[in-house]
Structure 1
């Protein structure tokens, strides 16, 4: 939790003379369509500025057809056309720079021209930003997220809803939404949750005296399933858009609150036939999700799913710290405002009284329907009216008018008062962690620790987006959570300036990288494998990649000795034979094994090893599969305690779930007897191993890094380790001819099975 300063919240809602919080624009909105009013000269601008012509945002694609469409573009366009809520789809090219001037003009498919004036710009950096637009006293809102040169957004003029999604190559789909085809709000089980209220209502004085210069900030963690990510063009931008729309709705309705997105990630979960209740229970009870929530200090956690039965489900109306969870269908999350709706439930807001008559925890805490005179409309928490009514980006509030009609009543329909009153409570569900060095990359300079002093590290980068490292002789690479890949050019940081990185790719699908010698490979969340051909990016154009495979079953890569291997989620192991893909045909792979027990592979020179879920370790002897017969494997160990293997410099090592480390001495198993292992350490704090050349390193759950000096254990005494660092922020290490570490804002570290580079599966 934190409170914004006055300077941070320059656009906060104003306070009315009565002392009640009021929206920035108290003028009653006339029911003239948004597009008509926005054709007027720029509002409230100086005379010189009013004469400036806003840039056109959309350029229609001729005949609404891409004559040179790639297969990926065609597939995405077809997917969007078939979406349940799509009424019509038009293709346009978008100039994101048109949004930087503050005002932008756009032409809709029906030839209407809108001129939008920016209300807020920010929540991003560099080429990425969020842009919200509208006019005072005018119904409707537009919100765009610009990410990697693409635009994801919504336009709602109070009568029609449009959604914008990128389809690749600078082309975007402008989709008119049929709001009548959104799923029902909640499953029937929600009626039981409607009877629950976990904390009493704050006293009126607490509700009504919040100051506009100190809004509460609710930190939000948003996860999304692989299916939800595949259903939209840019899931990261979709999440950012949902948060931006919620924040704009608070400003529209005089609510002193902001959502702050502290974490967003793909959650390896399959919706399948699970009910909404089961999905929500699984999400709220997941140990990894809760650890991540605690680590980033998220007050609320939301999962974006792909299941069309309903729009969403919150765990409680007026949640406590343990029940502040919700799930939302991706298609309802933005434009229809279900993301904000479910968080509203967690804050104690209820539906309109016609659909929810419960008066606790707040008798005044209901959404609002306006049925007559026409046009009918409703606020974010209200259900659809009989015969239909447009959902507006507003919360019920009797002090805000729309078309001359108050948007609520003091006695029954004042969600704004509820959210103002509970914001500070929800914002205190988790404490924000102290400022961290997450994303910092360090290189070991050769000086080991002396006591607890460990000066032997040089800072190479300080970008919080960094989530993975890969290293080989003479090369260091990093992967960002946006999918961008960077190569270190050799220049260390000078103070906070870290210029020594060159971008190699910026594909949001990238989930893993692996390096071997001068080669770099990446793995996409679709299972596609790509090899870098040497060309860096030029701006956002990154042509230097060649596809080697496109199999959706691929979950891991390993590389060594000039060889590349992949592991499938079926346990099959494949070796690359050298032939790259030709279109979607990727014949260059030879099967080496097909054992469903395989959970990890590692490579070292000409050697390949695999680890089974039983703890058994196998070495490849050179014989590839013939049909389904794969005889080319020799067992090296069968210890059920084994959870990880690494290999380098001709040596193979294993890590046990007890923290013990063992080195292979060369003797393979004879039946079930596997004597060929020598113990190097037995410290239960050990959670990870990395090997390179003739060096072996271990990481403890405290963040300490140790290097093996060559001395094996004698009984339980294992003196052969030298401490190189003791920083609790250490999350990952990588080694080529040098050792590197990456700091992470991380949950408590645990041992994981071997995987040189994996994707969720």
Structure 2
């Protein structure tokens, strides 16, 4: 029976339809399998560590090599020869290591032969520029490290402490100094790219920092950069021993990097609102003398009121143009007569290279807060001060550390004003300070304390050499510009 409007279906057509029902699903399954395979390969390639920071998509790999044979020796030349004619790299002077870039096909031969020579090798992976890393397991700490960690965590201004580990020093040196000095290049290096490092804030958050400058030191460097996305400044100090310290702010939060000994470091988040006040409260005598509202006192020059007597009140008034008061007269609050520098004089000063020689003393309480107080606190504080000069357009004015020394001084008796004038008047353990200052040819002497009554105090504005002394709290020295602030008064 023939249906109206429909062509008859032949046996051949039925066969074709049957075959199509079998072939089309088969082709579909093959196509789907190819899609799945392509997806898996892409995912594998995306998740696989890159062979090196310069090697992505160009068939090259990188190695950090330490304990190499002497450069120029046959063993060195043979090993470098295995890397091929296109091998290039960089000498890492602080750690006596080298970075080699080579075709990936040659890297296994280099590794095998290097092992026979006792060369230590680290292959660069995708996270090569992460200079601190969250440990995958709890880090073993010595009793001193545990004590330091406990003290940092218990500090009033600390809001969070992240324990981090530093990779081997040679790898960190390369991350910090990649292509910084063309003279350190091995072979023909490609065009320098902007160098960036990654810093963790916690085990869940990190920042990328673009390098802006490096200042080379005798046994390390001062590294400066800007945070991607915010432009906030980062200051780091790195030493050839592998220790880090530094500070930066990020989105309103204040961070410091602390060396805790060995590879252990801490990323400490600080609440700036819980830091010591800029200047401590005035003692009872100046308050009763009705000078607590004096603008100079409020700005931190209250140290002009010696705790011993009022003999320097007349000197203070004379030095700023005020009339001397009789001893039985209540002094009127004084207005400062120190005018800002004229623009021309400021420009002239900015054009000069001026070094202010600084001698730093610190107490036993401060010593207990740091693994290496000279590197972890004092050097960082001086760099901070110099950065503040640069930020203020006075980049040619720098503090220069000429000496640092521990003082056997009990700071529990008194506050900043007492500490300051015991030092100025050469009392007790400070008896030889003036002689030492002359020997070291220091312009200014700073005493760093653990007393949290204030961030800092100086003797007076425009002090003469006889009173060029300041006191600064250690946290303020490390995290803020307190040393520059107090030295600036002088």
Q: TM-score range by the shorter chain?
A: 0.5 to 0.7
Alpha-carbon contact 1:231-1:306 (below 8 Å) kept: no
TM-superposition CA deviations, 1:44-84 (whole Å, max 9, x none) = xxxxxxxx997111110235x32x32222222211211122
Write the distance in 2 (CA, Å) between the matches of 1:84 and 1:202: 37
Alpha-carbon contact 2:472-2:482 (below 8 Å) kept: yes
TM-superposition CA deviations, 1:679-725 (whole Å, max 9, x none) = xxxxxxxxxxxxxxxxxxxxxxxxxxxxxxxxxxxxxxxxxxxxxxx
Secondary structure of residue in 1 paired with 2:393: coil
Establish whether residue 55 from structure 1 lines up as the match of residue 194 from structure 2: no
1:258 maps to 398
- Between 1:310-319 and 1:221-230, the stretch displaced more is 310-319
- Does the C-alpha gap of structure 1 residues 323 and 164 become closer, same or farther in structure 2, counting only changes over 3 Å? same
2:202 maps to 109
1:142 CA displacement: 1.5
Alignment of 1:204-219 (within 5 A): 204=342, 207-210=345-348, 212-219=350-357
1:213 CA displacement: 4.8
Of 229, 248, 267, the residue aligned with 2:367 is 229
1:91 CA displacement: 0.6
1:234 CA displacement: 2.5
1:176 CA displacement: 0.7
- Does the C-alpha gap of structure 1 residues 329 and 208 become closer, same or farther in structure 2, counting only changes over 3 Å? closer
More helix by share: 2
2:152 maps to 80
TM-superposition CA deviations, 1:240-260 (whole Å, max 9, x none) = 101101111221221242111
2:439 maps to 295
Alpha-carbon contact 1:221-1:301 (below 8 Å) kept: yes
Write the distance in 2 (CA, Å) between the matches of 1:167 and 1:338: 23
1:303 CA displacement: 0.7
- Does the C-alpha gap of structure 1 residues 209 and 271 become closer, same or farther in structure 2, counting only changes over 3 Å? same
More strand by share: 1
Q: Which residues of structure 2 form unaligned runs of 5+?
A: 1-125, 179-194, 283-296, 305-315, 321-337
1:442 maps to none
- Does the C-alpha gap of structure 1 residues 137 and 327 become closer, same or farther in structure 2, counting only changes over 3 Å? farther
1:100 maps to 177
- Does the C-alpha gap of structure 1 residues 158 and 207 become closer, same or farther in structure 2, counting only changes over 3 Å? farther
Write the distance in 1 (CA, Å) between the matches of 2:398 and 2:234: 18
- Does the C-alpha gap of structure 1 residues 118 and 292 become closer, same or farther in structure 2, counting only changes over 3 Å? farther
Alignment of 1:517-596 (within 5 A): none
1:175 CA displacement: 0.7
Alpha-carbon contact 1:165-1:234 (below 8 Å) kept: no
Secondary structure of residue in 2 paired with 1:222: strand
TM-superposition CA deviations, 1:360-388 (whole Å, max 9, x none) = xxxxxxxxxxxxxxxxxxxxxxxxxxxxx
Write the distance in 2 (CA, Å) between the matches of 1:133 and 1:226: 33
Alignment of 1:56-71 (within 5 A): 56-62=130-136, 65-66=138-139, 68-71=140-143
1:334 CA displacement: 1.6
TM-superposition CA deviations, 1:261-303 (whole Å, max 9, x none) = 1111112211022221110011122242211211122111111
Alpha-carbon contact 2:209-2:228 (below 8 Å) kept: no
Secondary structure of residue in 2 paired with 1:120: strand
Secondary structure of residue in 2 paired with 1:79: helix
Aligned residues: 292
Alignment of 1:583-622 (within 5 A): none
Write the distance in 2 (CA, Å) between the matches of 1:325 and 1:163: 27
Establish whether residue 129 from structure 1 lines up as the match of residue 221 from structure 2: yes
Higher relative contact order (CA 8 A, sep 6+): 2
Of 420, 428, 440, the residue aligned with 1:280 is 420
2:186 maps to none
Write the distance in 1 (CA, Å) between the matches of 2:229 and 2:136: 36
Write the distance in 1 (CA, Å) between the matches of 2:445 and 2:251: 30
Write the distance in 1 (CA, Å) between the matches of 2:398 and 2:229: 22
Secondary structure of residue in 2 paired with 1:168: coil
TM-superposition CA deviations, 1:113-136 (whole Å, max 9, x none) = 32223333226213x222222269
Write the distance in 2 (CA, Å) between the matches of 1:319 and 1:272: 27
2:260 maps to 167
Greater Rg over alpha carbons, structure = 2
TM-superposition CA deviations, 1:331-354 (whole Å, max 9, x none) = 1112222222212222xxxxxxxx
Of 134, 140, 144, the residue aligned with 2:232 is 140
- Does the C-alpha gap of structure 1 residues 186 and 155 become closer, same or farther in structure 2, counting only changes over 3 Å? same
Establish whether residue 339 from structure 1 lines up as the match of residue 483 from structure 2: yes
Alpha-carbon contact 2:470-2:487 (below 8 Å) kept: yes
- Does the C-alpha gap of structure 1 residues 137 and 75 become closer, same or farther in structure 2, counting only changes over 3 Å? closer
Establish whether residue 193 from structure 1 lines up as the match of residue 301 from structure 2: yes
- Does the C-alpha gap of structure 1 residues 54 and 116 become closer, same or farther in structure 2, counting only changes over 3 Å? farther
Instruction: Give the TM-score, by structure 2 length.
Output: 0.55
Alignment of 1:643-654 (within 5 A): none
TM-superposition CA deviations, 1:658-698 (whole Å, max 9, x none) = xxxxxxxxxxxxxxxxxxxxxxxxxxxxxxxxxxxxxxxxx
Write the distance in 2 (CA, Å) between the matches of 1:215 and 1:247: 13
Write the distance in 2 (CA, Å) between the matches of 1:222 and 1:93: 30
Alignment of 1:93-492 (within 5 A): 93-95=165-167, 96-97=172-173, 98-101=175-178, 103-109=196-202, 111-122=204-215, 124-126=217-219, 128-134=220-226, 139-147=231-239, 148-157=241-250, 159-189=252-282, 190-191=297-298, 193=301, 196=316, 198=319, 204=342, 207-210=345-348, 212-237=350-375, 238-256=377-395, 257-286=397-426, 287-346=431-490
1:417 maps to none
Secondary structure of residue in 2 paired with 1:188: coil
Instruction: Give the TM-score, by structure 1 length.
Output: 0.36
Alpha-carbon contact 2:207-2:227 (below 8 Å) kept: no
Q: CA RMSD in A?
A: 2.7
Secondary structure of residue in 1 paired with 2:467: coil
1:431 maps to none
1:140 CA displacement: 2.2
Write the distance in 2 (CA, Å) between the matches of 1:72 and 1:122: 31
Write the distance in 1 (CA, Å) between the matches of 2:128 and 2:266: 22
